[in-house]
């Protein structure tokens, strides 16, 4: 067994540029308060203004996080010349209108996930990407789990060839679900597949970058003793396969009764295996290769550090005039995988064969395929 310290491994921490562009926040709800702003405060992201549907919420948030400007409307924030980057911490309904309005106002955008829960939005999203590119604006999606420390380090190691070609990815959700019954999630059909699991689907496609998806399967069920008040099924299984024969599997058994655990994952490759876990303080990663197991010093947690990672990548991209890894164009393929999973679940797990679903590389300009 070998242990590797932080200085000996790829740097998986959030990267905030030296002179970051100023951020204006739209939405003053749970995730803005519990994750966006704590992460930005810890990592030095300047938030100069906030607006929300309910101005009282915006004022309360501004007071708690020392944000100097509270705008009474979204339009006012978008017209604020001090705001260069708009951080959308709103739910999926109406968010595409907000992305479009921010682009019209000349702002770069980080939009919360899921990018969309309606497949009919895809052509419009492709148009928005093209319009933003024409104006030199950067659009990104808050796929903050890409910067969950153990997942980020795994991404860097996979890219660096540490396990050869990826053969199979396995995720197990070994923890309770967040509260779902009687929340806005009740209104999202196939909520686990369409919204909650987007992070697991997204990170899996990042580890299979460059491949083409040839089949997607998914199934859902209500589990024993699931309360009638919980509208969506609590069991969900998703699997996809690439044209190279590699597979990815994500499994939520239901609302697990577990005090420990987290979300363990395995990435099996042609030359080695990465084993790790995220969430609930379980964050860890090890590489099993050539008869030795190397454990890595993983620094930080998905919540909130991942949120600084996602924003930091956009800010770095703006400063360096390049596509961010989490560009909206890149995340379109993640959205397509989610829609294929929902379509399969609606056919009780029958395979869906997406047309030309290429898992573009995050490091290059992403191809827009609506």
Ligand X SMILES: NC(=O)c1ccc[n+]([C@@H]2O[C@H](COP(=O)([O-])OP(=O)(O)OC[C@H]3O[C@@H](n4cnc5c(N)ncnc54)[C@H](O)[C@@H]3O)[C@@H](O)[C@H]2O)c1
Site residues for ligand X per CB under 6 A: 26-32, 52-54, 57, 74, 89-92, 94, 98, 112-113, 142, 144, 195
Q: Which DSSP helix (H) or strand (E) runs through 266?
A: strand 263-269
Least separation in angstroms between residue 8's CB and ligand X is 29
Residue 180 to residue 276: CA distance in whole angstroms: 27
Residue 211 to residue 368: CA distance in whole angstroms: 16
Q: Which is nearer to ligand X, 91 or 324 (CB)?
A: 91
Q: Which is nearer to ligand X, 98 or 99 (CB)?
A: 98
Q: Which is nearer to ligand X, 53 or 159 (CB)?
A: 53
| Dihedrals phi, psi of 156, to nearest 5 degrees | -65, -35
Residue whose C-alpha is closest to residue 171's, from 253, 242, 255: 253
Q: Which is nearer to ligand X, 31 or 86 (CB)?
A: 31
Q: Which is nearer to ligand X, 93 or 212 (CB)?
A: 93
Least separation in angstroms between residue 56's CB and ligand X is 10
Residue 70 to residue 48: CA distance in whole angstroms: 9
- Which residues, in sequence order, are bridge partners of residue 219? 237
Q: Which is nearer to ligand X, 35 or 358 (CB)?
A: 35
Please state the length of the chain: 370
Q: Which is nearer to ligand X, 31 or 274 (CB)?
A: 31
Least separation in angstroms between residue 31's CB and ligand X is 3
SS (H, E, C) 267-303: EEECCCEEEEEECCCCCEEEEEECCEEEEECCCCCHH
| Cβ within 8 Å of residue 286, ≥6 positions away | 274, 275, 276, 293, 294, 295, 296
Least separation in angstroms between residue 321's CB and ligand X is 26
Least separation in angstroms between residue 215's CB and ligand X is 27
Give the CB-side neighbour count of residue 23, counting CA atoms within 13 A: 29
Residue 137 to residue 42: CA distance in whole angstroms: 26
Least separation in angstroms between residue 87's CB and ligand X is 11
Least separation in angstroms between residue 57's CB and ligand X is 5
Are 309 and 18 spatial neighbours (Cβ–Cβ below 8 Å)?
Answer: no
Q: Which is nearer to ligand X, 79 or 367 (CB)?
A: 79
- Proportion of the chain in helix, strand, coil states, percent, rounded to 5: 35, 25, 40
Pair of tokens at residue 308: 């600084």
Taking CB positions, which residue lies at the least distance from ligand X? 29
Least separation in angstroms between residue 303's CB and ligand X is 7
Helix ranges (DSSP H) in the chain: 30-31, 37-43, 55-65, 74-78, 95-104, 122-134, 149-159, 191, 198-207, 307-320, 328-346
Least separation in angstroms between residue 158's CB and ligand X is 22
Q: Which is nearer to ligand X, 89 or 162 (CB)?
A: 89
> Strand 47-51 relative to strand 23-26: parallel, antiparallel, unpaired?
parallel
């Amino acid at each position: 067994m070998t242990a590797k310290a932080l200085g000996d491994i790829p740097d998986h921490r959030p990267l905030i540029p030296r002179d970051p562009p100023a951020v204006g926040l739209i939405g003053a709800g749970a995730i803005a308060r519990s994750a966006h702003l704590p992460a930005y405060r810890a990592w030095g992201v300047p938030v100069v203004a906030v607006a929300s549907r309910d101005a009282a919420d915006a004022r309360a948030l501004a007071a708690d996080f020392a944000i100097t400007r509270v705008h009474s409307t979204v339009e006012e924030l978008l017209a604020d010349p001090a705001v260069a980057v708009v951080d959308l911490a709103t739910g999926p309904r109406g968010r595409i209108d907000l992305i479009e309005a921010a682009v019209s106002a000349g702002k770069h955008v980080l939009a919360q996930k899921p990018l969309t829960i309606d497949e009919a939005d895809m052509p419009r999203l492709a148009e928005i990407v093209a319009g933003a590119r024409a104006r030199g604006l950067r659009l990104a999606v808050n796929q903050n789990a890409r910067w969950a420390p153990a997942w980020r380090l795994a991404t860097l190691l996979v890219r660096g060839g540490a396990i050869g070609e990826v053969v199979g990815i396995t995720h197990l959700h070994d923890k309770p679900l967040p509260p779902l019954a009687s929340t806005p999630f009740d209104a999202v059909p196939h909520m686990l597949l369409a919204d909650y699991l987007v992070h697991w689907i997204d990170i899996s496609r990042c580890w299979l970058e460059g491949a083409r998806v040839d089949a997607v399967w998914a199934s859902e069920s209500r589990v024993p003793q699931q309360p009638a008040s919980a509208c969506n099924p609590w069991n969900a299984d998703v699997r996809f396969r690439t044209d190279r024969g590699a597979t990815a599997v994500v499994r939520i058994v239901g609302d697990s009764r577990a005090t420990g655990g987290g979300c363990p994952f395995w990435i099996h490759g042609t030359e080695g295996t990465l084993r790790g876990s995220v969430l609930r303080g379980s964050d860890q990663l090890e590489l099993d290769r050539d008869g030795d197991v190397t454990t890595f010093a993983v620094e930080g947690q998905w919540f909130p550090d991942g949120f600084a990672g996602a924003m930091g990548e956009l800010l770095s991209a703006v400063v360096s005039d390049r596509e961010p890894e989490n560009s909206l164009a890149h995340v379109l393929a993640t959205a397509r995988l989610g829609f294929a999973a929902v379509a399969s679940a609606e056919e009780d797990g029958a395979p869906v064969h997406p047309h030309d679903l290429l898992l573009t590389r995050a490091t290059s300009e992403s191809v827009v395929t609506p």
